[in-house]
Amino acid sequence: MMLAFFNVLTLFLFINLTYSQTTKCQNRAGGGEADWAIVYKAPGQDNGKIIEANDAAAWNNGAQALSNRDQHSFAKALEHVVGDHQNAKFLAYNNAPPGVPSIKTKSNSKGVIILATNADSAAWVVHTVPGFPAAKTGYNWPVAENARGHLLICLTILESQINAIAASLLLVQPLIHYNDIPKTETAGMPYFNKLAEGKISTLPPFTSRQTIRTQSGAAPVTVHIYSKSESSKYGEHELSFICYFWSKSTFFKV
């Protein structure tokens, strides 16, 4: 009888450990999944304002200061970016990588693509915060950035949407500072594999319009991603990245 109890307990713990990885956006307090979430932090604020799919009627105060390590949307969504989980993998890009002195890059893009290796589950986080998040070193919001305004967007997506995101990112040439997504997960994603390997196209077209949808079966949100790389006669490049995001109650241009 006692042996049977421990077998059940072991199975229970295994199930919880298996499905506890976070590869989806999170609600205001980080206590549940959300199809999408957006935080705007005005200059001088600690918490900022949040609007998310489960409460899309209005902006609300952030549940915690963004510097807190838990109990708010993006701390939970990035849990296995700043920490570790065997089934959560990601690619992170930032023109000001964590722990790297000032460097010159061709892009200002910042974000993280997260996926689960044991489920069709992924998230795309786009933000404006330099040096954030640092991979596998614990949640560490750069407090100096509280003086500045910032925007953070999280979209819960299916893995199949990642290739379209990568197609747009290829043109803006982001600086990738971490990637542990196994190639077995992206075998059918040629644009993602080019992005991960740093194979930037130098041939036309120099514009891209990609469309993705969030994962929600009931009310998915359509996101249009525009990217452009224009070459002047002097060989210099202008790079831009625009994301249009809307639902029934929200519209954003990023």
Average pLDDT over the chain, rounded to an integer: 84
Highest mean pLDDT (candidates 104-113, 185-194, 245-254): 185-194
* Helix, coil or strand: residue 154: strand
Q: What is the pLDDT of residues 70-98, one digit of tens each?
A: 999 999 999 999 999 999 999 999 999 99
Work out the percent of the chain whose per-residue pLDDT is above 90: 67
Task: Return the H-helix or E-strand segment holding 206.
Answer: none
Ranges 15-29, 51-65, 140-154: which has the least confidence = 15-29
Contact call for residues 163 and 187 (beta carbons, < 8 A): no
Q: Round to the nearest angstrom and report the end-to-end CA distance of the chain.
A: 59
Calculate Rg over the CA atoms of the chain. Answer: 19
Q: 107-111: list long-range contacts, CB under 8 Å, 24+ apart.
A: 107/172, 107/173, 107/174, 107/175, 107/239, 107/241, 109/169, 109/172, 109/174, 109/241, 110/174, 111/174
Query: What average pLDDT does range 48-54 have in this prediction?
Result: 95
pLDDT over 70 at 252, yes or no: no
| Residue 153: closest CA among 59, 247, 243, 31 | 243
Whole-number pLDDT of residue 245: 52
At CA 156, angle to CA 55 and CA 130, rounded to 5? 95
4 vs 57 pLDDT, higher one: 57
pLDDT over 80 at 229, yes or no: no
